[in-house]
Amino acid sequence: MRQIKECEYPLLDEFLYKAIYIPENEVAPPKNITKIPELQVYIKDFGKLKNDIGFVAEFDKKVIGMIWARIMNDYGHIDDEIPSLAMSVDKKFQNKGIGTFLLKKILEELKKKNYEKVSLSVQKENYAVKLYKKVGFKVYEETSEEFIMLLEL
């Protein structure tokens, strides 16, 4: 696991798509869904803002997981002082502790950068809810389908 390299920023689009929760028996949206403005806030011009932070997990010199955070007006937005994060791990590498490792690494980095809180948005049905709760995220707000979760660092 290591910090994201600038040459890997284009992979954010692929991992953003992988981060979209698709319930069982539902058809995945087209890959170009990541081009809508509500999703572009997660990745557009990544690395150009001073608060952009990202890490990757690698296996056999291939990126298999990504986690990133930035202050953005996304689905998990609480205020302009709290970064939101997004993450995904390739399906065949899930349930091996990689997501937990990535999550702990970025939380450590956010603390070093003196952030006091971090937020995220997650579908209520997404198995990742358990992971987020396990590391200390609490439900801040909820809609019929999603939790906005907050962690005090």
Per-residue pLDDT reduced to its tens digit, 49-58: 989 999 999 9
Q: What is the pLDDT of residues 93-146, one digit of tens each?
A: 999 999 999 999 999 999 999 999 999 999 999 989 999 999 999 999 999 999
Residue 79: what pLDDT? 95
**What is the pLDDT averaged over residues 62-80?**
96
Of the candidates 126, 88, 79, 130, which has an alpha carbon nearest to the alpha carbon of residue 106? 88
- CATH for 2-152? 3.40.630.30
Residue-range domain boundaries for the chain? 2-152
Contact assessment for residue 47 and residue 9, using Cβ atoms and an 8 Å cutoff? yes
**What is the pLDDT averaged over residues 68-83?**
96
pLDDT exceeds cutoff 90 at 24:
no
CA distances from residue 61 to 30, 64, 139 in whole angstroms, order as listed: 28, 9, 36
Burial (CB count within 10 angstroms: exposed 0-12, middle 13-18, buried 19+), residue 102: buried
Looking at every residue in the chain, the average pLDDT score rounds to 96
Consecutive H or E run containing 46: none
pTM for the whole structure: 0.95
Which SS3 state, helix, strand or coil, does residue 53 take?
Answer: strand
Residue ranges of E strands in 29-82 = 53-59, 62-70
